[in-house]
Amino acid sequence: MEQYIIKGGNPLVGEVNISGAKNAALGILAAAVMSNDDVLVENMPNVNDTNILLQAIASVGAKVERIDNNTVKINGANIRSLCIDDGFIRKIRASYYLLGALLGKYKRARVALPGGCAIGSRPIDQHIKGFRALGAKVSIENGMIVAEADQLVGAHIYFDVVTVGATINVMLAASMAEGRTVLENAAKEPHIVDVANFLNSMGADIKGAGTDVIRIRGVKRFKGTEYAIIPDQIEAGTFMCAAVATKGDITVKNVIPKHLESITAKLLEMGAQIEESDDAVRVVATRRCHPTNIKTLPYPGFPTDMQPQILIALGLSDGTSIVTESIFENRFKYVDELARMGSNIKVEGNTAFVTGVSEYRGAKVTAPDLRAGAALVIAGLAAEGFTTVDDIHYIQRGYENFEGKLRSLGGMIERVNSEKEAQKFKLKIG
Ligand SMILES: CC(=O)N[C@H]1[C@@H](OP(=O)(O)OP(=O)(O)OC[C@H]2O[C@@H](n3ccc(=O)[nH]c3=O)[C@H](O)[C@@H]2O)O[C@H](CO)[C@@H](O)[C@@H]1O
Ligand SMILES: C=C(OP(=O)(O)O)C(=O)O
C-alpha cells in the first residue's frame, strides 16, 4: 500500500499552480455526455475521481479522448447503455451526476448508489425529490438508483436543505425537461456556477446560478463546446493553510481570489499576511498564528472541505479555538490521528475545542478521508521529525500531484510503496 513519508519542520516557500476544481469537473464531465457533439474540457484535474468518472462514461459508449494531462474530449452520441455500475463508480460521490445527466437526455438511467468520503450519513433524498418533481419515477433496487420518466416536465422545487449535489443533479435533468424549472434554496458554490456556465455554453438556458434561486428553461438538445474548468478553491485553500501551519510563504497561482474570501478572512484573523492580485494569493506567516473560531457553512460561508486543513494550523496557535462542523456529522475522525502527533483537541458532538501546542511531533497516522488526509500531510510537514501517512489513496482522489507540488515548495515528502523505499528516503534526507 502506498504511503507518504514526510520529514517536517521546514517552512514551505514558493509558488504553486492550482489545478482545476475537482467538484466542478465531476459535474461538468457528467454533463458533457448530454451533447451528441464533441465537447472539449480543459483545466480538468487529473485525479482519481475524474479518471473513474471518465472510465464510467467510456464504459457506456461515450467517446473519451485524452488530449493531454488536463484536457479531454467527450462525445456522447453513441451511448449504448444507461446502466452505470462497477466497483469504482460505487466509491465516488459524483457518480450520481450521471443519473441527472442521463435522465435529462434519455429520460431513464440506472446508476449505483454513490460513495464518497465517509464524513456523515449523506442522504440523497433531495436529489430524488427533485427528479420526482420533474415527473420521474425513482426507486432504489439492489444498490442502484433507478429513474425513468415518459416525459420530464419543469417544476418549482424548494430544497429542504442547501445541497450542492442535488442542486447540480436536478439542474442537469431540468436543463432538458419540457418548460420551466425553478430551484429554490439552491446551493451557491462556485462549482454550481461553473456547471451552469458549462451547460449554457452547450445551449442550455440557466439563469441565477450563484444565487439561491436558479431558473431553467429546458431545451431539446445540446451542441458541442470548449470549456475550461475554474480553479480548485479547496486545493488553493489547502496550500494557504500549509503556509500558515509551516510558517511559510506560499503564492497560490491560477486562482479566483473571490472564491477564497472566507478562507482568506480566517487566515487574516489568525495573523497571516495576505496579498491578492488578479489570479494569485500570497500567504505569509512569520510566527505562531492566533486562535479563531470557525463554523462551516454553505458558500459563501467557510467550506466544510477546508475544516481539517485550517484546524491543523489552529492546532499550532497560541490559544484556544472553537471549530464547529455544521454540514457533516462525522468529519472530526482525523482528530484521533492528530493526537498521535501531540495535538490538544477535544471533540464534543459537532464542535472541536482546539488548544494550540507549540509543535507537532512526527508519528504514523492514517488518512480517514480526502481532506483529512491532506490535512495530516500538512501536519507532518509542520512537525518535528518523520511522519508516515497511510491510506493516501483518499488524497489521490482529489489532489493532482500533491507530493510534487509540496516538494516544489521545499516540502520533504515522498510517496513510497514499501518499507525498503521508506528507509531509503529516510537515509537520503537524514
Ligand atoms: C462531489 C462533490 O461536489 N462533493 C461535495 C459536495 O458533496 P454533496 O453534494 O454530497 O454535499 P451536499 O451539499 O449535498 O450536502 C450538504 C448537506 O445536505 C445534506 N443532504 C444532501 C443531499 C440530500 O439529498 N439530502 C441531504 O440531507 C447532507 O447530508 C449534508 O448535511 O458538497 C459538499 C458540501 O460542500 C462537499 O463537502 C463535497 O466535497
Ligand atoms: C467530501 C469530498 O468529496 P466527495 O463529496 O466526493 O466525497 C471532498 O471533496 O472533500
Task: Give yes or no: residues 103 and 182 share one domain.
Answer: yes
From first CA to last CA, the distance across the chain in angstroms is 23
| CB burial readout 336-346, b (16+ within 10 A) else e | ebbebbbbebe
Could you give the C-alpha distances from 319 to 265, 322, 323, 376, 382, in angstroms and in order?
Answer: 18, 10, 13, 21, 18
> Per the annotation, does 249 bind a ligand?
no
Strands (E), 18-75: 39-42, 63-68, 71-75
pLDDT per position as a tens digit, 379-428: 999 999 999 999 999 999 999 999 999 999 999 999 999 889 989 998 88
Instruction: State residue 296's pLDDT score.
Output: 98
Same domain, 219 and 275: no
pLDDT on residue 87: 82
Domain range holding 132? 22-228
401 and 321 fall within a common domain: yes
- Indicate which residue of 83, 117, 241, 289 is catalytic: 117
Please name the residue whose Cα sits nearest to atom 37 of ligand 1: 305
Q: Clarify whether residues 293 and 174 are in a common domain.
A: no
For a mutational test of ligand 1's pocket, the pick from 189, 297, 327, i.e. the residue with the most ligand atoms closer than 8 A to its C-beta, is 327
Domain boundary at 183, 208, 228, which? 228
CATH number of residue 47's parent domain: 3.65.10.10
The answer to whether 320 and 355 are in contact (CB under 8 A) is: yes
Q: How far apart are CA 71 and CA 103, in angstroms?
A: 26
The minimum-distance atom of ligand 2 relative to the CA of 22 is 9
For residue 289, what are the CA distances in angstroms to 57, 134, 203, 339?
45, 50, 48, 19
- Residue 134 shares a structural domain with residue 161: yes
Atom of ligand 1 nearest to the CA of 191: 3
- Helix then strand then coil, in percent of the chain rounded to 5, is 35, 25, 40
The pLDDT of residue 152 is: 98
Pocket of ligand 1 (CB under 6 A): 23, 26, 93-94, 120, 122-127, 161, 163-166, 187, 304-305, 327-328
Boundary of a domain, candidates 228, 259, 285: 228
Say whether both 181 and 265 belong to one domain: no
Give me the pLDDT at residue 419, please.
87
Q: Are residues 267 and 414 in the same domain?
A: yes
Asked if 89 and 112 touch (Cβ cutoff 8 Å), the reply is: yes
- Compute, in angstroms, the gap from residue 163 CA to the centroid of ligand 1: 5
Clarify whether residues 115 and 130 are in a common domain: yes
pLDDT recorded at residue 315: 98
Count of structural domains within the chain: 2
CA–CA dist 419, 364 (Å, integer): 13
- Which of 228, 258, 283 terminates a domain? The answer is 228
Tell me the pTM.
Answer: 0.98
* Rounded CA separation 253/283 (Å): 11
pLDDT of residue 90: 85
User: Which parts of the chain have pLDDT scores under 50?
Assistant: none
Q: What is the pLDDT of residue 117?
A: 85
Q: Please indicate, yes or no, whether residues 169 and 87 belong to a single structural domain of this protein.
A: yes
Residue with cell 470548449: 226
Does residue 117 have an active-site annotation?
yes
**Within this chain, do residues 201 and 270 fall inside the same structural domain, yes or no?**
no
Close Cβ partners of 315 (under 8 Å, ≥ 6 residues apart): 338, 343, 344, 345, 354, 356, 357, 360, 379
Whether ligand 2 lies within 6 angstroms of the CB of 380 is answered as: no
Residue 148 burial (CB count, 10 A)? 16
Is the domain of 185 the same as that of 301? no
Looking at the structure, tell me whether residues 74 and 191 fall in a common domain: yes
Pairwise CA distance, residues 42 & 73, whole Å: 9
